[in-house]
Amino acid sequence: MPEQAATGGHAPRRVRTMPGWLPLVLMTLLMFAVGGYAAGRNSAFYSDFNLNTLFGPSGALPLILVAMGQANTLMIGCFDISVGALMTLVVCVGSYILTPDAAWYTLLFASIALVGIGVVVGLVNAFLVRKLKLPSIIATLATLSVTLGIALELRPDPGGDINQNWSDTISASWSWMPYAFIAVLVLAAVWDYWLYRRAGGLATRAVGLDEISSRRLGAHAERISWRAFVFSSTLAALAGLFLAASEGIGTAQPGPTSDFALKSIAAAVLGGASLGGGRGSFVGAVVGGLFLALIVNVLALPNIVPSALLDWSDALPQIIIGSLTLLALVLYQAPELWTRAQTAWNDSRLSRARDPKPQPTTGT
């Protein structure tokens, strides 16, 4: 009774959310459906070469890494749109230090230095957001401009060959499955276990849901936010390494990295992340990134696109990705939005009942 009295006779409504496993199930079913359709139209889809391309540095792997990084910032209710420009910068710097004549130890330290660029950019983003109190979109947009400007200064024109032996090493595969993809999948599973079963992960989700309340409960919101931005940029730099191995040359011209920021958000959302923070999955980011790469891979194969849509073949991937992202936002967050709308409606009715409008008086 006291609880109901405090809320005007209504107990607090529990906010409904979509089950965390549902996005994974839906994405997996869609991948099998798309893969089955593609195989039926073109048997080359199941070839070792195409599958290796799909899962490797030329396909899903860079997007998966940057989507996992983006999931960190979405978890705390922020965005990092500098990731694509950071990948471009890593490719351009890599074309100067991952040279064909470099010794193996030089290549090792060069790779560590390139990942270190991501750490620095992540610290800058966190400083702008946490210390200067800039919105994450504005802060990372500024970082995007700076990093892309440096990349353009370094490589105004394509040039600088990437060491082929280094590229072959980080792209090595077991049959058609890249070792790097297996390692990333294991990392995502361990990260999800930490996120949902360990105190640090629960605190991270709490900060995304309600930072003020999480602080009262003892969560270190400041440290969690800094960590999220550093992880996001570090994984984007790692994705840039794999992209460099795929491209084989340094270039800052608009191309392979131009839409990674938006695609990384789309992949994380398709995997179950909430734009409002507090919800997401690293395995979901892997599945979402793989699904988006699958769409691009399938539509590039002959005999896949119906003849009536051939004139739209270049635009179809973008249209499909955008449509699926909007659908995921509506589907995954519909229960939460509906509950919040009901709560707002009930609060409005209670407010009107407590403070009725004064009735006009008439003279007698």
Residue 5 has pLDDT above 50, yes or no: no
Residue 275 has pLDDT above 90, yes or no: no
User: Within a domain: residue 325?
Assistant: yes
User: Within a domain: residue 342?
Assistant: no
User: Within a domain: residue 359?
Assistant: no
Per-residue model confidence as pLDDT tens digits over 52-61: 999 999 999 9
| Residue with more model confidence, 316 or 238 | 238
Whether the Cβ atoms of residue 338 and residue 33 lie closer than 8 Å to each other: no
Show the CA angle centred on residue 20, arms to residues 207 and 38, nearest 5°. Answer: 130
Q: How many domains does the chain have?
A: 1
Task: Give the span between the Cα atoms of 138 and 79, in whole angstroms.
Answer: 10
User: Within a domain: residue 282?
Assistant: yes
Contact residues for 156 (Cβ-Cβ < 8 A; gap 6+) = 252
Whether the Cβ atoms of residue 63 and residue 292 lie closer than 8 Å to each other: yes
Structural domain that includes position 249: 14-304+312-335
- DSSP readout, 157-183? S-EEEPPHHHHHHHT-EETTEEHHHHH
Q: What is the pLDDT of residue 10?
A: 42
User: Within a domain: residue 364?
Assistant: no
User: Within a domain: residue 39?
Assistant: yes
To the nearest whole number, what is the mean pLDDT of the chain?
86
**Structural tokens at position 278:** 């507090």
User: Within a domain: residue 9?
Assistant: no
Task: Give the span between the Cα atoms of 323 and 212, in whole angstroms.
Answer: 34
**Structural tokens at position 94:** 């890599």
Please name the residue that has the structure tokens 């998966």. 64
CATH number, residue 33: 1.10.3470
Whether the Cβ atoms of residue 274 and residue 280 lie closer than 8 Å to each other: yes
User: Within a domain: residue 351?
Assistant: no
Confidence band for 362, pLDDT divided at 50, 70 and 90? low
Per-residue model confidence as pLDDT tens digits over 155-212: 999 999 999 999 999 999 999 999 999 999 999 999 999 999 999 999 999 999 889 8
Residue 359 has pLDDT above 70, yes or no: no
Q: What is the pLDDT of residue 236?
A: 97
Q: What is the pLDDT of residue 103?
A: 94
